[in-house]
Amino acid sequence: MSGVVAVHVGAGSHSSSLKGEYKKLMKNACNQAMEVLRGGGNAVDAVCTATQVLEDSPRTNAGFGSSLTAEGGVECDASVMDGHTLRHGAVGAVPGVRNPVLLARQILDAQSQPLPGGLVPPSFLAGPGAQMWAASNNVETCQPEELVADRSRRIHEESRRNIQRLEEGGTKRRRYALPEEEEEMQGGLLDTVGAVCVDSSGYVASAVSSGGLLLKHTGRVGQAAVYGCGCWAENNCDGSGVSIGVSTTGCGEHLIRTMFARLCARAAISPELGSNITHAVTTHFLESDFLEGVHPRMAGALILRYDPQSAVSDLYWLHTTRTMGVCYMTTNDRKPQAQFSELAEDKIGMSVNLQCKSFGGHLPITTSGELQPGPSHRGLLVPGEEEEEREKSDSSDEEEEPG
């Protein structure tokens, strides 16, 4: 079978002028992850490599360049899940770690090594204690201020001024930020990053990393660190025979209250997964009693479903936000494909944009109508249109990427 890796730069409101940069970044992440797979690495290796690339970019809200806390610091959340062993490693509100996903990976791996005296290895570490564990377990640490990007500082300062004006009853708004930063501030910067993968052995894995909400309280932990909320990976999911990897994005508080990653994984088990995912997200997220009084409801997910009987991998991505950026590649591809999907302004937080891509066979959906009941459900690629879509994607990338 061929391996598949896919990444996302989050669901939120990405600046139109920066989409070319985001696509270039996602392609780099896919390419490096694919090198790992082709070199004999497994799915966990691949998702960690891809997510590390995304963390290192100042354009993403993860690792270096993360959104700043109310006090102006960087505290990161991340987790990794191995669908073969079902182990999960996570870190929350950790300062001074360049690549939180690598710390989460180290915590995951350490669970297979028993401790003396019957002590239990941790699966989730938070705050300064997580940084201490990193330093003693060969994970690179740094001074916390080294993770603060100039762009993050500008957005932080402008956002604090906006809040101060609101508290003082002011209505006029001056422009301190760059135009693209202004657009992202208005969108909420919910752009958690992550990756999913199935390797040549059929094992799945997932990873997620986030700097959290802008101006969050120090110590706040989002969904990226929480079991069943940030990512999910499970071979033979619920005994169904299919393997599923999920990486989520959006407002962490919303995703935690609905255990969003596991919700998406369960919905993706059925062969009618397109309609099932739409129904599950609508019923158990957009209409959830657990989010009573919460509006708008912001979520996104990247879902990879592998059926070993047919050797077919189906990739789905969904969001209730304005935009979501994704990129994917198989071991048979020469280059990755990157794209952004968009949801109409009047649908944000109230509807789902679900799109999909199939590798190795036809989509396991009886009719496309189940996926597209309205204008908010778009992007189904059907056999015969795949090459045309690929050509459009290549052309779009050439136009948008800066020279």
Is 331 a catalytic site residue?
A: no
- Taking CA atoms, 270 is separated from 167, 200, 204, 275, 280, in Å, by 49, 23, 17, 9, 12
The answer to whether the beta carbons of residues 339 and 30 sit under 8 Å apart is no
Name the nearest CA neighbour of 91 among 149, 131, 148.
Answer: 131
List the structure tokens of 351: 């509807």
Establish whether the linkage from the previous residue to 296 is cis, with ω within 30° of 0: yes
Residue of 51, 192, 248, 320 marked catalytic:
192
Q: How far apart are the first and last CA of the chain?
A: 37
The length of the chain, given as a count of residues: 403
The answer to whether the beta carbons of residues 108 and 74 sit under 8 Å apart is no
Which residues have a Cβ under 8 Å from the Cβ of 197 and sit 6 or more positions away?
3, 4, 5, 6, 33, 37, 43, 46, 47, 50, 204, 205, 206, 245, 304
Give backbone dihedrals phi and psi of 338, rounded to 5 degrees, phi first.
-120, 145
Q: Which residues form the catalytic set?
A: 192
